[in-house]
Chain A
Amino acid sequence: MNNAFQKTYTKLDSITKATVSLHAQGVQNDELAKVAGRLAQVVKIKEDLVTLQVFAGTEGIPTNAEVEFLGEPPSLNVSDELSGRFFNAYGDPIDGGPRIEGEHRFIGGPSVNPYKRKQPSELIPTGIAGIDLNNTLVSGQKIPFFADPDQPYNQVMAQVALRADVDKIILGGMGLSNDDYLYFKQAFEGAGALNKIISFVNTTEEPPVERLLIPDMALCAAEYFAYDKNEKVLVLLTDMTLYADALSIVSNRMDQIPSKDSMPGSLYSDLAKIYEKAVQFPDGGSITIIAVTTLNEGDITHAIPDNTGYITEGQLFLRYDTDTGKVIIDPFRSLSRLKQNVIGKKTREDHGQVMNTGVRLYADAANAKTKLENGFDLSDYDKRCLEFAKDYSNKLLAIDVNISINQMLDTGWELFAKYFTPAETGIKQKFIDKYWKK
């Protein structure tokens, strides 16, 4: 990888917190360089003035720092040896194990030809009814948890990952606290699943700009297993908000005009490049991405969750339900866009109607609750809705539920029959005839 003819430069023209500029010849766009031993990447070339983004930050870099161009973009060595290993943002092992021998691949590679994709249609059951029943996940899907920082999103994500029937789980941790990093490690070890897990981790102790490499590293490894080995790969990215923050730091240092919420104007494309790596390949392999986007006091209109929502195939919201004291998957704001590909096709025929009816009745309960809070009398129907909502929340929405999809559907029918008449549910007559619990 080192080019004997590569010249070393020793005079920096300018230095900002995240970038350095110097005069250099024959430099390629996107290539890596070492600036005083720190890894950097070319982000702008104007005549012979080259701007480099220094991943570890520029603290202490002098104007006579040695700059050596490496002649190629960031890369990862891929092989089956990746399994069970922990790496930093540069793809170097952090678990004390040996370096990976394997094929040298550039990260952030080309996109899949949309025509060569297959329609995602394989169900990923998680046992959590708030997901499987109302927001079914499908292999090849990309979906984030939109969560407030105090919610147990990493735990739920680890739980989903460990229950999902996949060949590999790849964790991309960005700005992960050391405690959360250890939590993931223990959860994976505890489940005896370590051999199918690969982690790329940047903790809060490490420089933020390094995070920018994490998703591409994780997805480069994912593409190796999914495309080359036809495996089902689940990629976990947490926390994408911290990734976007790093993007804005770099664009700010490069004097780019910010758009909404001081994010770079290219935020949508930057995020899409990552999420669109989720794919169902024609030969059976797939990449599914579950990400976390932390919100600021539930604000989904902020540029990061907003752009994410337009890219991903739905979103999952966690909510603390005061009636039952449990954390639930919010049925109103959560959505899995690909659920239609499997609902009633890979699951029982009544799935769609049970799902819609349950959510609609839960919405009626929410209205009744508003009435109650405003001090109005409740009708008999309102009261039944409220009772239903508690049961529904407890038995189906709570994240501690772990049952099969058929059990979820049967539970749904039981609850409908317990509180309502068939006409009140508005379900198609042929399903009422077949499934209504008398």
Chain B
Amino acid sequence: MKSTGIVTGIVSNLVTIDFTGHVAENEICYIDLNGVKLMAEVIKVNGNHAFVQVYESTRGLKIGNTVEFEGHMLEVTLGPGLLSSIYDGLQNNLTTMEGVYLKRGEYTPALDLGKEWDFTPMAKAGDKVQASDWLGEVKEGWLPHKIMVPFSFKGNFKVKSIVPAGTYKASDKIAVLTNEKGDDREVSMIQKWPVKVAVGGYVEKPRPSRVLETGVRTIDTLNPIAEGGTGFIPGPFGCGKTVLQHAIAQHSDAEIIVMAACGERANEVVEIFTEFPQLIDSHTGRKLMERTTIVCNTSNMPVAAREASVYTAMTICEYYRQMGMKVLLLADSTSRWAQALREMSNRMEELPGADAFPVDLSAIISNFYARAGIVTLHNGKSGSITFIGTVSPAGGNLKEPVTESTKKAARCFYALSQSRADKKRYPSVDPVDSYSKYLEYPEVCEYLDTKVDKEWTEKVNHAKTIIRRGKEIYEQINILGDDGVPISYHEMYWKSELIDFVILQQDAFDPIDSTTPMERQEYMLSLVLEVCDKKYDFKTFEECSSKFKEIINLMRQMNYSEFKGEDFNKFQAQLYKMIGNE
């Protein structure tokens, strides 16, 4: 028997309900508005009053409208077909909705249950299994998609029967499992999971030790993010947060990308699903869209579903992680999610914390970031979720609750700088303020020194020192004037400019410069440092600046040319000639 209730109060999308029976925190219910069912989630219970946040506009709702509770939390449907899909925050398929305008109460299924897949069993009758163990595999596009023991199955099971290799519908029974009590449970390719609960089913979560390549030099070279790591990008508007995230989505070497467009501009999402089906993933040569799932709840869509969208996206990531995949989750922007929490907390007239955000904001954010990580599965394989979130600090001021709470939770910090953006130095990641805590992990440094270059960490530190010195000198020159500092200072400043122009700045819209594989990053950094380490004997600071401007120009032309191609080699030869190398 489902619990029921009636509406007794309405303020915007916060509705109070008098219910009979039992309801659970976060339980889903549907409010009947003249036959249209509005989905809502319980966020507070007091006596027999339930406070629910409605995922739709409440226009026209009346006192006395009836409500039916569903007996479960907000769930997502997991199975083959998630990739290439475009969902709203509640996992409704946006592509199958009719009409140009969103209709209230229209919910579309996340997956096509009737779609046929070629299934190959991996387990056999008699095998002992537990939740999230692999039973078989289908090809989702070109990616192997594991069909697993549903995450909700508690305890140990024995495979009673499993279908032979062949073509089956997603909803067909593919296996029967017997639990310890001897009860049989049927399994299809589809399962459901509540989004606010982290998926378990792994042995351990070790410290990340490998680096996730993003193709963005200022990240990979200076402050790399680990596979299974967390990072965040705070920045005022107009500093290129979204362009940077899209660049990472396009060029990172993750196998699966989930993009959560949370409370952001609709046209940015349009850009993703217009361009991704055309763009080729440089690592696999396949279309980017084939490895991507988009969860979008743009800023004009209902606020409550905005909060749900990041959880929906994370749960989809965890599903693929359990298949042993390398997953990257990009959420833009987590501030909008925090604002959604604030709006609700405000309507419930809770006592506010800083800037009127709910007091448990910090805990909510760190819980969410903790769902990222690399895991060792029961079969010894590993899967990972790397999470990069953007933060939109109010007024560009990093001393605000969302940024501060996120800083505690995320290990990489990519600070976008207004002054760099004003100078059109993109990506505007500040090389001095940003950091990657993963560089403090000996295993990560060892990985870099083995994989990239045996002196890699040393070279990177050398470059960072030059950048830092250059910044100090720049300030001194501003105070003392060009003549007020020795020529050697000018030389150091221009070396830092060289690193800035050639390594840090990257043209996200140039077909070649937009992504730089690690091998090329290593080559260019070494070359830049070779130029920096040469002895120069400048007589005047003008001589110094004009020389370096020419060097910068040549090396930028190299960045625009095919790696080690004809043009690239030609510019390099010119460069060597200029600095007097053979």
Which residues on A are within 8 Å of B, measured CB to CB? 25-31, 43-48, 73, 106, 109-120, 140-141, 227, 256-260, 265-266, 268-269, 272-273, 276-279, 281-282, 300-303, 306-307, 309-311, 313-315, 332-333, 335, 337-338, 340, 352, 356, 359-360, 363, 370-371, 374-377, 379-381, 423-424, 426, 428-429
Chain A neighbourhood of B560, CB < 8 A = 428
**What total count of A-B pairs have CB within 8 Å?**
214
Q: Find out whether the CB atom of A338 lies under 8 angstroms from the CB atom of B102.
A: no
Q: Find out whether the CB atom of B102 lies under 8 angstroms from the CB atom of A112.
A: yes
Given A423-B549, A423-B553, are A260 and B274 neighbors across the interface (CB < 8 Å)?
no
Given A30-B58, A117-B267, A315-B238, are A48 and B356 neighbors across the interface (CB < 8 Å)?
no
Chain B 257-271, CB within 8 Å of chain A: the 1/0 string?
000000101110111
- Cβ-defined partner of A374 (8 Å) among B16, B58, B266, B481: B481
CB-based nearest B residue for A51: B11
Taking CB atoms and an 8 Å cut-off, the chain B residues in 531-582 that contact chain A are: 541-542, 545-546, 549-550, 552-553, 556-557, 560
Given A269-B343, A377-B482, A426-B553, are A47 and B274 neighbors across the interface (CB < 8 Å)?
no
Chain B neighbourhood of A257, CB < 8 A = 346, 349, 352, 356
Q: Find out whether the CB atom of B509 lies under 8 angstroms from the CB atom of A115.
A: no
* A79 to B481 Cα, complex, angstroms: 66
- Cβ-defined partner of A111 (8 Å) among B101, B265, B349, B550: B101
- Cβ-defined partner of B62 (8 Å) among A27, A273, A300, A333: A27
B114 within 8 A of A: no
* A377 to B480 Cα, complex, angstroms: 11
Chain B 234-257, CB within 8 Å of chain A: the 1/0 string?
001110000000000000000000
Which residues on B are within 8 Å of A, measured CB to CB? 8-12, 16, 57-64, 86, 94-95, 97, 99-104, 236-238, 263, 265-267, 269-271, 273-274, 296, 298-301, 303, 333, 336, 339, 342-343, 346-347, 349, 352, 355-356, 392, 394-397, 422-424, 478-479, 481-484, 509, 541-542, 545-546, 549-550, 552-553, 556-557, 560
> Can you list 8 A-B pairs with a CB-CB distance of less than 8 A?
A29-B10, A29-B61, A45-B10, A73-B60, A113-B101, A115-B273, A338-B267, A377-B482
Chain B neighbourhood of A306, CB < 8 A = 237, 394-396
Q: Find out whether the CB atom of B550 lies under 8 angstroms from the CB atom of A423.
A: yes
Q: Find out whether the CB atom of B299 lies under 8 angstroms from the CB atom of A311.
A: yes
Residue with the highest number of chain A CB atoms closer than 10 Å, among B59, B352, B481: B59
Given A109-B101, A257-B356, A265-B343, are A114 and B557 neighbors across the interface (CB < 8 Å)?
no
* A315 to B239 Cα, complex, angstroms: 12
Chain A neighbourhood of B303, CB < 8 A = 266, 269
Given A29-B10, A115-B86, A311-B299, are A376 and B482 neighbors across the interface (CB < 8 Å)?
yes
Chain B neighbourhood of A268, CB < 8 A = 263, 299, 336, 339
Given A301-B397, A335-B238, are A276 and B265 neighbors across the interface (CB < 8 Å)?
yes
Chain B neighbourhood of A302, CB < 8 A = 395
* A301 to B10 Cα, complex, angstroms: 33
Q: Find out whether the CB atom of B60 lies under 8 angstroms from the CB atom of A29.
A: yes
Please give 4 more A-B residue pairs, beta carbons under 8 A apart, in addition to A111-B298, A423-B550.
A281-B100, A306-B396, A335-B238, A340-B509
CB-based nearest A residue for B349: A257
The 3 closest A-B pairs by CB, nearest first: A301-B395, A272-B299, A276-B300
Q: Find out whether the CB atom of B63 lies under 8 angstroms from the CB atom of A48.
A: yes
* A131 to B108 Cα, complex, angstroms: 42
Q: Find out whether the CB atom of B342 lies under 8 angstroms from the CB atom of A259.
A: yes
Q: Find out whether the CB atom of A29 lies under 8 angstroms from the CB atom of B59.
A: yes
Chain B neighbourhood of A335, CB < 8 A = 238
CB-based nearest B residue for A334: B238
- Cβ-defined partner of B299 (8 Å) among A31, A112, A115, A276: A276
Q: Find out whether the CB atom of B549 lies under 8 angstroms from the CB atom of A424.
A: yes
Closest Cβ–Cβ distance, residue A191 to chain B (whole Å): 30
Q: Find out whether the CB atom of A119 lies under 8 angstroms from the CB atom of B270.
A: yes
* A268 to B482 Cα, complex, angstroms: 46
Q: Find out whether the CB atom of B9 lies under 8 angstroms from the CB atom of A45.
A: yes
Chain A neighbourhood of B59, CB < 8 A = 28-30, 73, 106
Chain A neighbourhood of B352, CB < 8 A = 257
Q: Find out whether the CB atom of B339 lies under 8 angstroms from the CB atom of A31.
A: no
CB-based nearest B residue for A25: B63
- Cβ-defined partner of B9 (8 Å) among A47, A119, A266, A375: A47
Chain A neighbourhood of B266, CB < 8 A = 111-112, 114, 117, 276, 279
- Cβ-defined partner of A28 (8 Å) among B62, B269, B546, B553: B62
Residue with the highest number of chain B CB atoms closer than 10 Å, among A109, A118, A257, A363: A257
Q: Find out whether the CB atom of B58 lies under 8 angstroms from the CB atom of A258.
A: no
Chain A neighbourhood of B549, CB < 8 A = 423-424
* A80 to B550 Cα, complex, angstroms: 61
CB-based nearest A residue for B274: A119
CB-based nearest B residue for A299: B395
Q: Find out whether the CB atom of B265 lies under 8 angstroms from the CB atom of A110.
A: no
Residue with the highest number of chain A CB atoms closer than 10 Å, among B16, B63, B101, B303: B63
Q: Find out whether the CB atom of B270 lies under 8 angstroms from the CB atom of A118.
A: yes
Q: Find out whether the CB atom of B100 lies under 8 angstroms from the CB atom of A116.
A: yes
Closest Cβ–Cβ distance, residue B356 to chain A (whole Å): 4
Q: Find out whether the CB atom of B356 lies under 8 angstroms from the CB atom of A272.
A: no
Closest Cβ–Cβ distance, residue B132 to chain A (whole Å): 31
Chain B neighbourhood of A313, CB < 8 A = 265, 267
Q: Find out whether the CB atom of B422 lies under 8 angstroms from the CB atom of A114.
A: no
* A309 to B17 Cα, complex, angstroms: 37
Chain B neighbourhood of A113, CB < 8 A = 94, 97, 99-102
Chain B neighbourhood of A43, CB < 8 A = 11-12
Chain A neighbourhood of B11, CB < 8 A = 43-46
Q: Find out whether the CB atom of A265 lies under 8 angstroms from the CB atom of B342.
A: yes
Given A46-B9, A377-B482, A423-B550, are A115 and B356 neighbors across the interface (CB < 8 Å)?
no
* A424 to B547 Cα, complex, angstroms: 11
* A281 to B100 Cα, complex, angstroms: 8
Q: Find out whether the CB atom of A28 lies under 8 angstroms from the CB atom of B270.
A: no
Closest Cβ–Cβ distance, residue A369 to chain B (whole Å): 12
* A387 to B522 Cα, complex, angstroms: 40
- Cβ-defined partner of A265 (8 Å) among B63, B356, B397: B356
Q: Find out whether the CB atom of B267 lies under 8 angstroms from the CB atom of A140.
A: yes
Chain B neighbourhood of A333, CB < 8 A = 422
* A166 to B106 Cα, complex, angstroms: 34
Residue with the highest number of chain A CB atoms closer than 10 Å, among B342, B396, B553: B553
* A399 to B509 Cα, complex, angstroms: 28
Q: Find out whether the CB atom of A110 lies under 8 angstroms from the CB atom of B101.
A: yes
Closest Cβ–Cβ distance, residue B38 to chain A (whole Å): 11
* A429 to B392 Cα, complex, angstroms: 38
Closest Cβ–Cβ distance, residue B1 to chain A (whole Å): 27
Q: Find out whether the CB atom of B481 lies under 8 angstroms from the CB atom of A110.
A: no
Chain B neighbourhood of A377, CB < 8 A = 481-483
Q: Find out whether the CB atom of A265 lies under 8 angstroms from the CB atom of B339.
A: yes
Q: Find out whether the CB atom of A426 lies under 8 angstroms from the CB atom of B101.
A: no
Q: Find out whether the CB atom of A356 lies under 8 angstroms from the CB atom of B101.
A: no
Chain A neighbourhood of B296, CB < 8 A = 114
Q: Find out whether the CB atom of B10 lies under 8 angstroms from the CB atom of A44.
A: yes
* A135 to B64 Cα, complex, angstroms: 52
* A306 to B563 Cα, complex, angstroms: 41
Chain B neighbourhood of A374, CB < 8 A = 478-479, 481
* A259 to B335 Cα, complex, angstroms: 14
Given A31-B60, A257-B346, are A272 and B101 neighbors across the interface (CB < 8 Å)?
no
Closest Cβ–Cβ distance, residue B350 to chain A (whole Å): 9
Q: Find out whether the CB atom of A47 lies under 8 angstroms from the CB atom of B8.
A: yes
Residue with the highest number of chain A CB atoms closer than 10 Å, among B265, B396, B549, B560: B265
Chain A neighbourhood of B94, CB < 8 A = 113-115
Closest Cβ–Cβ distance, residue A212 to chain B (whole Å): 14
Chain B neighbourhood of A360, CB < 8 A = 423-424
CB-based nearest A residue for B336: A268
* A113 to B301 Cα, complex, angstroms: 9
Q: Find out whether the CB atom of A117 lies under 8 angstroms from the CB atom of B481.
A: no
Q: Find out whether the CB atom of B394 lies under 8 angstroms from the CB atom of A303.
A: yes
Chain A neighbourhood of B274, CB < 8 A = 118-119
* A352 to B352 Cα, complex, angstroms: 47
Given A110-B102, A281-B100, are A426 and B237 neighbors across the interface (CB < 8 Å)?
no
